[in-house]
Amino acid sequence: MIGHLEWQPGKVDPKGFAMASVRDRIAGRLGHSKPGPLPTPVRPKVSLPELIAAARSNPSAKGQPVTYAGVVTYETALVDEGLLAKQYLDGHFGTTTITATSEWQERLGYRGRKPGQPADGIPGRDSATRLGAKHGFDVVAQEDR
């Protein structure tokens, strides 16, 4: 509840009471106490096994069901890194996300099994954890959940 003076300059509140006392009386009648502290925000968790399964199943088209919701969190970090175009932030771990993941892995020093071969683009514990540490999410293994 706001008083005249609080939202309209030049208007005065009616004489005889203060808005603070009106608010206290209303809160008393409604039985409301002062609100408690806000809960501490929880960092999102991304399951590594589910992320790997999504990468391996590789849904290719929009409109298909999302394999795992944590892919959106993961892709958002890749977009923030400048490795994935925002238009591909769709929750599908498609070929574009695999390419972006490969580029992230190469930034970290990972390469393919043969000389000159790029990183595979399938998220591993280290590369996913380092991406999460930089972009505000935790990577958990199945037993960590």
Of 72, 43, 51, 42, residue with least CA distance to 142: 51
pTM of the model: 0.71
CA distance 72 to 69: 6
- Give Rg (Cα) of the chain: 25
pLDDT band at 21 (very low <50, low <70, confident <90, very high): confident
CA distance 84 to 18: 56
Average of per-residue pLDDT across 77-104 = 95
Torsion of CA 89, 94, 99, 105, to 10 degrees: 80
- Provide the strand spans (E) within 1-145: 45-47, 138-140
